[in-house]
Amino acid sequence: MIILHHAWKSSASRRVRLCLAEKGLAYEGRVVDMGKLEHHSPEYLKINPNGVIPTLIHDNQPLHESGTICEYIDETWPEPPLRPASSYDRALMRNWIRHIDGLIHNLIIFNWRHHLQKVASQWTDEELAERLKNIPSQERQESWLRVARKPYTDEERDGARRKLVELLDRMEASLEETGWLVGDSYSIADIAAVPFVKRIDEEIAPDEVAAQRRPRVALWWQTIQARPAYAHANIGPFLDA
């Protein structure tokens, strides 16, 4: 039995749902409300001490970190394969995942200003201190403190936007040979990029994904969205209408 603790708009959760959909695997989804800090609750911390989402539970064994989960899924259910055949290309795939993961703070800068900033800004100092105690990561404690008391500026968002657009440039170069980020077929490297490109395309810098600017990225994105698994994974808009 597969259980997935996830959030619909979480980038890491979207990766894992997309991987599961590509494999055609059924699972029990349990939605974690991040706005209510359910990922920091004592119950959730029992299965994921890091207090992050998603968490995959297979045969009563929990796993976290989306890149690790996707590789586990591909090893456990190898068809259709989502990792390159050669060890070198698999190493390149992991480098892509690490590179994209390293950009997550630039995405978070845009995430915070929506629902979570409105919620956190209304907390009293005492309420904020109480909530920070339940966050296991010092880095994320500082992020919550920052968004509650000193929201990110336009200049910081501009800097984050530039970093995310640089990802598109790197992708454009890598897609030249085969149309995929690594090797000659769709892989977990491509899956890792999907949530980021989704956010860039719909909100952060939509003109940068246009065919006139980055034709290979535009074709890649069109191809990704046409895959049946993309619709099945329910990767909807980040912002409510």
pLDDT of residue 115: 64
**What pLDDT, in 10s, does the model give residues 183-226?**
999 999 999 999 999 999 999 999 999 999 999 999 999 999 99
DSSP codes of every residue in the chain: -EEEEE-TT-HHHHHHHHHHHHHT---EEEE--TTTTGGGSHHHHHH-TT--S-EEEETTEEEESHHHHHHHHHHHS-SS--S-SSHHHHHHHHHHHHHHHTTHHHHHHHHHTTHHHHHHTTS-HHHHHHHHTT---HHHHHHHHHHHHSPPPHHHHHHHHHHHHHHHHHHHHHTTTTSSSSTTS--HHHHHHHHHHHHIIIII-GGGGSTTT-HHHHHHHHHHHHSHHHHHTT---SS--
Q: Is the pLDDT of residue 146 over 90?
A: no
Residue 66: give its domain's CATH number: 3.40.30.10
196 lies in the same domain as 156: yes
Residue at 162: amino acid letter: R
Q: Is the pLDDT of residue 131 over 90?
A: no
52 lies in the same domain as 158: no
**What pLDDT, in 10s, does the model give residues 104-113?**
989 988 887 6
| Residue 126 is assigned to a structural domain of this protein | no
| Residue 128 is assigned to a structural domain of this protein | no
58 lies in the same domain as 160: no
Number of domains in the chain: 2
| Residue 130 is assigned to a structural domain of this protein | no
Domain that holds residue 171: 87-113+152-232
107 lies in the same domain as 191: yes
**Least confident window among 57-66, 207-216, 230-239:** 230-239
Examine the fold and report which residue of 50, 76, 102 is the final residue of a domain before the chain moves on: 76
| Residue 197 is assigned to a structural domain of this protein | yes
Residue 158 is encoded by which pair of tokens?
A: 């501009």
**Pairing between β-strand 2-6 and β-strand 55-58 as defined by DSSP bridges:** antiparallel
The arithmetic mean of pLDDT across residues 109-119, rounded, is 74
96 lies in the same domain as 185: yes
Q: Is the pLDDT of residue 149 over 90?
A: no
68 lies in the same domain as 174: no
93 lies in the same domain as 182: yes
20: left (phi over 0), alpha (psi -120 to 50) or beta: alpha
| Residue 82 is assigned to a structural domain of this protein | no
| Residue 143 is assigned to a structural domain of this protein | no
Examine the fold and report which residue of 76, 103, 133 is the final residue of a domain before the chain moves on: 76
188 lies in the same domain as 98: yes
CA separation, residue 157 to residues 114, 160, 197, 200 (Å): 13, 5, 17, 13
